């Protein structure tokens, strides 16, 4: 069985943020994986294995699942277009959509690296990859003709646009992790994953991008899906967080390498603004300082799921949206929605931190930037 569970798509969420006036963009172009997928996987109908296309996904934002893209992903990037006065981004594969204000190229299961990389390591069966970063950039390049009439017109538009590149990396590491490869081996993927993200950023700069947001990965050791699958000795868990320490270290190492790559690219492209967006710090704060954000102080626990191993309310055979699962009464007091993705409340806090600080370097709506 392919581990599609970590790649599932979820609802679009919007944090109730004040309309920002500090900075406007002509368009937003978004690339990524299931954190930001607005329905590209389901434009031709809903695959049976995608429980996330059904209720309760989308219930806190849409009330009912939207007809066109029922599995639109829950993400802080969903908040960004509205915050800068733009409409929500259409999935790039949507029929009859207009893309002059931007498009969402993100797709479930997307990796930074192309599939042959995994196949060469005997991991072809664990990659559920329908569009790596480089495939998504090709979709973007193919779409240019429908957005602008000349390469100069495209350059002008892209110069006034915001490009969000990620999160990438999570699915790349899931491939060896869910094949139960040693963690030392998983660490060897980091330089290649980060180099690939760097190459993607440079392709977009070559297309005319001058403002790019590049998110890091999440502290996966805090997420109920990983806590349920990887059972560890007691000393392997953080005493205050209850998270798996060595999995969080993997995320941390990736993020440090990515920030180093961003610094290198900033030096190489001085006229380009590259923003590092932090998923790791806010997630750790939700766990360690839950009450500060209005969350219940508890072991990492899914709002929507079913009892399984431990106290995580996550069960592989009864995931959120499957028979036997149910949602908690108040998702706003949980940071984890389904053990895999955040709740709308969490994404609201993260989006705010990306737009205004402190969870982005520099903040997207940096008052010092004109």
d(CA 44, CA 40) in angstroms, rounded, equals 9
d(CA 246, CA 252) in angstroms, rounded, equals 10
d(CA 322, CA 305) in angstroms, rounded, equals 8
Per 3-state DSSP, the chain is made up of helix, strand and coil in percentages (nearest 5) of: 40, 10, 50
Count the neighbouring beta carbons within 10 Å of the beta carbon of residue 272: 16
Backbone phi and psi for residue 102, each to the nearest 5 degrees, phi listed first: 125, 175
Q: Dihedral angle at the C-alpha atoms of 223, 263, 166, 92, nearest 10 degrees?
A: 170
HSE, CB side, 13 Å, CA atoms: give it for residue 176: 20
How do beta strands 102-104 and 273-277 pair? Answer: unpaired
Helix (H) / strand (E) containing 78? helix 76-83
d(CA 120, CA 122) in angstroms, rounded, equals 6
Q: Are 281 and 193 in contact (CB under 8 A)?
A: no
- Partner residues linked to 91 by β-bridges: 104
Secondary structure class of 301 (helix, strand, coil): coil
CA 49 remoteness from chain centre: 20
- Could you give the angle at which helices 170-177 and 245-268 cross, rounded to 10 degrees? 140
- Partner residues linked to 29 by β-bridges: 103, 163
Catalytic positions, written as ranges: 34, 338, 341
- Partner residues linked to 165 by β-bridges: 31
Q: Are 190 and 112 in contact (CB under 8 A)?
A: no
């Amino acid at each position: 069985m392919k581990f599609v569970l970590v790649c599932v798509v979820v609802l679009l969420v919007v944090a109730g943020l004040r309309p920002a006036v500090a900075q406007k963009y002509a368009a937003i172009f978004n690339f990524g994986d299931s954190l930001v997928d607005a329905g590209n996987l389901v434009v031709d109908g809903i695959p049976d294995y995608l429980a996330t296309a059904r209720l309760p996904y989308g219930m806190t934002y849409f009330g009912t699942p939207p007809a066109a893209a029922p599995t639109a992903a829950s993400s802080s990037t969903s908040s960004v277009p509205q915050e800068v006065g733009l409409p929500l981004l259409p999935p790039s594969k949507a029929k009859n959509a207009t893309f002059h204000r931007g498009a969402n190229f993100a797709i479930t299961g997307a990796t930074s690296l192309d599939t042959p990389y995994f196949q060469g390591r005997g991991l072809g069966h664990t990659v559920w990859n329908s569009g790596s970063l480089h495939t998504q950039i090709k979709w973007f390049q193919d779409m240019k003709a429908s957005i602008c009439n000349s390469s100069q017109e495209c350059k002008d538009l892209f110069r006034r646009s915001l490009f969000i590149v990620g999160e990438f990396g999570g699915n790349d590491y899931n491939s060896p992790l869910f094949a139960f490869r040693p963690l030392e081996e998983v660490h060897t993927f980091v330089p290649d994953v980060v180099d690939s993200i760097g190459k993607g950023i440079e392709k977009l700069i070559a297309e005319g991008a001058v403002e790019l947001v590049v998110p890091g990965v999440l502290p996966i050791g805090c997420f109920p899906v990983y806590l349920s699958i990887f059972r560890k000795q007691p000393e392997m868990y953080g005493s205050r967080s209850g998270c798996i320490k060595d999995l969080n270290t993997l995320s941390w190492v990736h993020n440090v390498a990515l920030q180093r790559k961003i610094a290198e690219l900033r030096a190489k492209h001085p006229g380009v603004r590259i923003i590092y967006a932090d998923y790791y710090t806010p997630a750790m704060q939700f766990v360690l300082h839950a009450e500060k954000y209005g969350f219940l102080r508890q072991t990492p626990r899914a709002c929507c799921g079913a009892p399984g191993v431990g106290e995580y309310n996550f069960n592989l055979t009864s995931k959120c949206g499957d028979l036997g699962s149910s949602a908690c009464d108040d998702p706003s007091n949980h940071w984890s929605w389904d053990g895999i993705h955040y709740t709308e409340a969490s994404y609201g806090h993260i989006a705010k931190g990306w737009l205004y600080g402190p969870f982005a370097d520099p903040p997207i709506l940096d008052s010092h930037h004109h």
